[in-house]
Amino acid sequence: MSGHDEHSGEHDDAAPGDEHAGGSGFGAIQVYLLGLLLAVGLTVASFWVAGSNAVWGPGIPAALLALAVAQIGVHLVFFLHITSGPENTNNTLALAFGVMIVLLVVVGSVWIMAHLNHNMMPLPMDKLIQMQH
């Protein structure tokens, strides 16, 4: 495959977005096509779960988050070509650090603010709104 020949030389690091260095048997376009199929499937599943009653109500947010994480993984592997191979160590480590910061910011904010709301407001939100009217 032409892309592979260009990228391999005496250096075998890979930039993000490089095609797979290992001989996976797929051409570049097939990799994008497979990624597109998986992403479309996961997107359709997300919209279907949100709009139907097939999933137990309280389980819908968990199902949607799981589908989103799966789709982000598909995008990373098939579109951005971030893999677990040795030539991708630097890219994967940077990604792991980014994910850690994102989780700290989002989960930390939600966690702290939920506790703050719990401690600061003896009344539930809807009662408070009724009182204002």
Partner 1 sequence: MSKDPSPSDVAAVYLQHGPYGRGHDPHGHGHIEARGHGAGGPAPKRVIVGYGFWIFLLSDIVMFSGFFAAYAVLAHATAGGPTGRQLFDLDRVAIETACLLASSFTCGLGYVAATRRRQIETQFWMLVTGLLGLVFVVLEVLEFYEMIQKGAGPDRSAFLSAFFALVGCHGLHVTVGGLWLGTMMAQIWFKGFRPEIMRRLLCFNLFWHALDIIWVALFTIVYLLGAGA
Q: Does 123 bind partner 1 (CB under 8 A)?
A: no
CA distance 37 to 31: 10
Q: Does 120 bind partner 1 (CB under 8 A)?
A: no
CA distance 79 to 72: 10
Q: Does 109 bind partner 1 (CB under 8 A)?
A: yes
Q: Which is nearer to partner 1, 67 or 83 (CB)?
A: 67
Q: Which is nearer to partner 1, 106 or 123 (CB)?
A: 106
26, 75, 77, 85: which one binds partner 1 (CB under 8 A): 75
CA distance 93 to 100: 11
CA distance 59 to 56: 5
Q: Which is nearer to partner 1, 23 or 41 (CB)?
A: 41
